[in-house]
Amino acid sequence: MERRRFFKFGAVGLGLSLLKPTSLMAAESKSKDEDQGIEPIILSTWNHGIAANQKAWETIAKNGLAIDAVEQGVKVTEADVSNRSVGIGGMPDRDGHVTLDACIMDHQSRCGAVAYLEGIAHPISVARAVMDHTQHVMLVGAGAKQFALDRQFKTIKTPLPEVKKEYEKWKKENAAKFEKPVINHENHDTIGMIAMDRHGNLSGACTTSGWAYKMPGRVGDSPIIGAGLFVDNEVGAACATGLGEAIIRIAGSSTVVELMRHGKTPQEACEEAVRRIIAKHQDLTGLQCAFLAINKKGEVGAYSVYEGFNFAKTTVKGTDLVDAGFNRKW
Ligand code: SD4
């Protein structure tokens, strides 16, 4: 893997417990886990992960929990108005609506998700609120929006004017292609982030505006626990990016974690998941999918169908942008 150094940092019971905010649990478990020589690590997809990891590291450096770190981290990407594939600057569906998907999962297998959420600035925090304040895992569409409004989440008018302009242009030029939107692999796609904190807790978050010009109602892998993200604190964590339909078909992130459970390294697990995707599809045209994983030892894996996937890796030594291995060239 080729590495590029970017930043250096200074050293720095189901039922009821499901309803208990993780921040409260932090204080309870902290002292027992501290000072055991655990080396924290944050990984996230694509180069927008560099800024997101930097933010997430602020929490990790203060002995905070991975679940808080990943939420804070991916919010940076969601707030970036220049990002066309995540959050408020995201591209719309073919009817001009920006519908956002996100999920989050912590070290106790608590999880929350939202899908098809429109006009809310931080879907990841709504997913976190679903996890912390409801008995459910996933809210979608109008229900998710109502939940967010009830909890006073910040609203935003989407698409942004500049995105709308791009959309209008695309609509004019592609009227005939509505049934088969083309995935844009030049775009730096979904952010999936997985992290291990100083207490050895694993957590992850995933957030996206999905496939540009998707069919109205379409939801990809990103908000689906087990597809776009999966965490098992006994084993490891994985997240995915790329063509969501293909990732869902093999329960991608769950598959990676299960492969690690059965002895594969994170790298072997990501490669096997990609091989499985390739085996299940006869036509691989434009079918880019990638997985990113860590295990409890802090070992890292990343692999994609096509060349070009990279990820940000942050440890006490700083942040690298790392080119992942791949099965084939475009
Ligand atoms: C989706 N997986 O909605 C997301 C999009 C993405 O690289 O990650 N693109 O299918």
Catalytic residue at 255?
A: no
Percentage of residues in the chain with pLDDT exceeding 90? Answer: 79
Query: Does the residue 187 lie in any domain?
Result: yes
Domain assignment of residue 132, yes or no: no
32-81 pLDDT, tens digit each: 444 468 999 999 999 999 999 999 999 999 999 999 999 999 999 999 98
Residues 6 or more apart whose CB falls under 8 angstroms from that of 300 comprise 41, 43, 266, 267, 292, 293, 294, 313
Rounded to two decimals, the pTM is 0.90
Q: What is the pLDDT of residues 20-32, one digit of tens each?
A: 444 444 434 444 4
> What DSSP designation does 86 have?
S
Is 209 or 13 the better-scoring residue by pLDDT?
209
Distance 189 CA to ligand 1 centre (A): 6
Which one is catalytic: 45, 77, 99, 190? 190
Helix (H, G, I), strand (E, B) or coil at 81: coil
Q: Is residue 20 part of a domain?
A: no
Evaluate: CB of 40 within 6 angstroms of ligand 1: no
CA of 203 relative to ligand 1 center, distance in Å: 20
Q: In this structure, is residue 208 part of a structural domain?
A: yes
In short, whether 255's Cβ falls inside 6 Å of ligand 1 is no
113 vs 25, more confident: 113
Mean of pLDDT values over 282-298: 95
Task: Give pLDDT, residue 286.
Answer: 86
Does residue 92 register a pLDDT over 60?
Answer: yes
**Looking at 28-32, 67-71, 106-110, 156-160, which range is the least confident one?**
28-32
| 139 lies in some domain | no
Residue 289 included in any domain = yes
Condensed to tens digits (0 to 9), the pLDDT of residues 210-268 reads 998 899 999 999 999 999 999 999 999 999 999 999 999 999 999 999 999 999 999 99
Q: Which two tokens stand for residue 48?
A: 């927008």
Q: Is 181 in the pocket of ligand 1 (CB under 6 A)?
A: no
**Minimum CA distance residue for ligand 1 atom 5:** 210
CB of 220 closer than 6 angstroms to any ligand 1 atom: yes
Tokens standing for 56? 């997430």
Query: What CATH number did the domain enclosing 69 receive?
Result: 3.60.20.30
Residue 146 CA to residue 69 CA, distance in Å, equals 26
Residue 219 alpha carbon, nearest atom of ligand 1: 3
Contact 80, 73 (CB under 8 A): no
Q: How many distinct structural domains can be found in the chain?
A: 1
User: Residue 135's pLDDT is what?
Assistant: 98
Query: Which residue's CA is the closest to the ligand 1 atom numbered 9?
Result: 242
Confidence of residue 16 (pLDDT cuts 50, 70, 90): very low
**What's the pLDDT at 36?**
67
Report the separation in Å between the CA atom of 248 and the middle of ligand 1, taken as the mean of its atom positions.
11
Closest atom of ligand 1 to 244 CA is: 10
pLDDT value at position 30?
Answer: 45
pLDDT of residue 37: 83
User: What pLDDT score was predicted for residue 179?
Assistant: 57
Q: Residue 178 has what pLDDT?
A: 60
- Give me the amino acid identity at 102: A
Please report whether residue 47 resides in a domain. yes
Among 86, 191, 211, name the best residue to mutate to test ligand 1's pocket (greatest count of ligand atoms within 8 A of Cβ): 211
- Any alpha helices (H) in the chain, and if so which ranges? 14-18, 22-33, 49-61, 66-79, 123-133, 141-150, 161-173, 244-249, 252-261, 266-280
pLDDT, residue 173, reads 86
pLDDT surpasses 50 at 171: yes
Cβ of residue 44 lying under 6 Å from some atom of ligand 1: no
Q: How many residues does the chain have?
A: 330
CA of 188 to the centre of ligand 1 (A): 10
Domain encompassing residue 57: 2-9+36-92+103-110+179-324
The residue whose CA is least distant from atom 3 of ligand 1 is 210
Does residue 148 fall inside a structural domain? no
**In whole angstroms, what is the distance from residue 27 CA to residue 30 CA?**
5
